[in-house]
Structure 1
Amino acid sequence: MTQKTILVVEDHPETRDLLAYHLKAAGHSTRTATSGQAALDLAQRGKPDLVLLDVMLPGDMDGLEVCRRLKQDPRTRAVPVIMLTALGDEVDRIVGLELGAEDYVSKPFSPRELMLRVKALLRRTSQQEPKSEGFQAAGLAIDFEAHTVLVDGQDAGLTATEHKILKELVASKGRVLPRERLLDTVWDTDFDGTSRTVDTHMRRLRGKLGPYADWIETVRGVGYRFKPLAAGHDESSNR
């Protein structure tokens, strides 16, 4: 794997130095920030390949707010984020996923486990997706190659993970995708996710699809299905 640039956002000196040490040992370059605003400034000046983001940061901007702003900015929306949360803070983990974070690791963490998470996430995001036809129906227009999703002509603002979920759903249009399969294909077999991870990202994806949210159906106890023929909408031909 080629060298990647990792932005480490952590105000605790010992933890920050530990993260930088292991990332450099793995062949990556690092940039560090000790506050939310400094992190946003660094990310906007030079987009990193991945962000390690502590939830607890000094000042008025915590890690959750930093994540929200990174995922709202078109320049940094596709940058994967791993949240670092205090052990047992399930609310922070859920909120982080709601805001678009790709993964989370609880403190105190195992440096080896964290580096495996970083490796898996970088591998996933750097893999070139095969060319695929787009999809267009009513006011929903998807171009998989260009990574664009338009809802009634407006950019839906999907993150890289949300785009992959939608691609899997559209590719299996009409068929039910179990949550376990989505975890394996959208995330990674090394990712220690749960069905709640899938449900959280699916809820965000639906919210961004607006009037077409109900085209993603929940099959209770199994998974999800993309069924574009919703009431009041007529499907046009795929591109």
Structure 2
Amino acid sequence: MITPLPVQQRPRTAPEPVRPAPASVPAPGAGRPRALPAGTEARGFALYVGFDEAKAAAAGTDLGRVVAELKRVLAELAPGAEAYASVALAPQGAGGRDVDVVRLALQEPTAAAKHRGSSAASADDADSTGVVVDISRKRLQLNGETVPLTYKEFELLQYLVLREGRTIERAELIESLWTAAGEEDVPNERTIDVHVRRLRSKLGAYEDIVRTVRGAGYRFDRHADVVIRHASGTPSPDIF
């Protein structure tokens, strides 16, 4: 007869208390502005908000309330900080992203400098950020690097750029860039979509400067980080 061995039970111990995860400690310098030029100090910041009256109303608010709430949060985070708000005005129906229209209207330094310098070539293009569409040299630069566009891709971009804010139908693009130019291989509207897709992919983070207007065509919108360099004496055909 086999006598079963007694089962040894492990002594019960109280469960270890759950220790809260240590609070993350911000890295030295976190939240500080990037390196400042020697002899300068940060005295504040500007926040550009792209949010028009129609969008505010659709969200159940208005611009005045948004400004008041931002000031309230500022007072909680930084008591004693001073604030000043300025509303950007633009013509009704102006194209472009809201925040870029605001930056240009309020003369944000970077945007204003790009806008003022858009009529002449600059030796600083290689060090610039954003997009430079150099029509005089048939060249596109992205953050100082030349983008390898095909001839037709640049022609397409130039056509839209020179008609800023106007929606261009696919049929017009075909007629102007292929048929009128005497091209033998005339594309259809689906092929135009392929050309635009390739162009936008090469624009990277700035692809939204070429807008798709559903059911209508394409449009170049104003952007605060885009510089257009026209050939001397060649203004946009749609600016009077």
Which category of TM-score, normalised to the shorter sequence, fits these structures? 0.3 to 0.5
Q: TM-score, normalised by structure 1?
A: 0.39
- Larger strand proportion of the pair: 1
- Larger helix proportion of the pair: 1
**Which one scores higher on RCO, CA 8 angstroms, separation ≥ 6?**
2
Larger radius of gyration: 2
Q: TM-score, normalised by structure 2?
A: 0.39
